[in-house]
Chains A and B, each alone.
Chain A
Amino acid sequence: GIQVEQSPPDLILQEGANSTLRCNFSDSVNNLQWFHQNPWGQLINLFYIPSGTKQNGRLSATTVATERYSLLYISSSQTTDSGVYFCAVSYGKLTFGQGTILTVHP
């Protein structure tokens, strides 16, 4: 099956810093989603981005499907950005990466 690798596994930032999270996948996909799992365990949709670039406030994402990777950018990070960020890809069912644990300190 398709493999999804996220990096880094852990990231610690000071409030206000910028960060880039990466998602590599092993095969062609027609769906790629980024999620934020909040402290209550809920999976919040950030982006549906099988290709191209999207922006939503301080967050943006870019997927280069031909090179099988996606990047999630977080600018001017806030403590509320803390949590686990998942990338998931599919050609049908979603396959999740192991996540990046982000901790933002005030």
Chain B
Amino acid sequence: EAGVTQFPSHSVIEKGQTVTLRCDPISGHDNLYWYRRVMGKEIKFLLHFVKESKQDESGMPNNRFLAERTGGTYSTLKVQPAELEDSGVYFCASSPRQQETQYFGPGTRLLVL
């Protein structure tokens, strides 16, 4: 069974540009989560999808971040325009049901210059 995959693995962009991160969850997992770790800080929750619906987006830092999960399969997280403080590692996780193990992808390392 394939694990959670994320693309790209690394992205280096300039301040003001747009970046789109993609996450493919484990097949059949309805729950998809985004987390991020900015430099020197702990890993923090961004948002949670159940199928294509946003269940909880309380962790989204501001309206420069837009997450979608059309069709309830893969998800994208767009940052527009990117700022320096957005640099960090963005993780995606999925689980079959909400109170079960969340399986994490390898992360996307974003550097905003």
Contacts and interface: CB of A to CB of B under 8 A. Distances in A.
Chain A interface, DSSP helix/strand/loop, else mixed: strand
A48 B96 CA distance: 14
Nearest to A50: B99
Interface residues of B, number: 23
Contact of B99 (A31, A41, A96, A99): A31
A48 B45 contact: no
A61 B109 CA distance: 30
A19 interface: no
Interface string A40-58: 1111010010000000000
Nearest to B91: A43
Interface residues of A, number: 21
A92 B104 contact: no
B85 interface: no
A97 B42 contact: yes
Interface of B: 33, 35, 42-45, 48, 56, 58-59, 89, 91, 93, 98-104, 106-107, 109
A-B pairs with lowest CB-CB distance, top 9? A48-B101, A43-B104, A96-B43, A93-B45, A98-B42, A42-B106, A96-B42, A30-B99, A31-B99
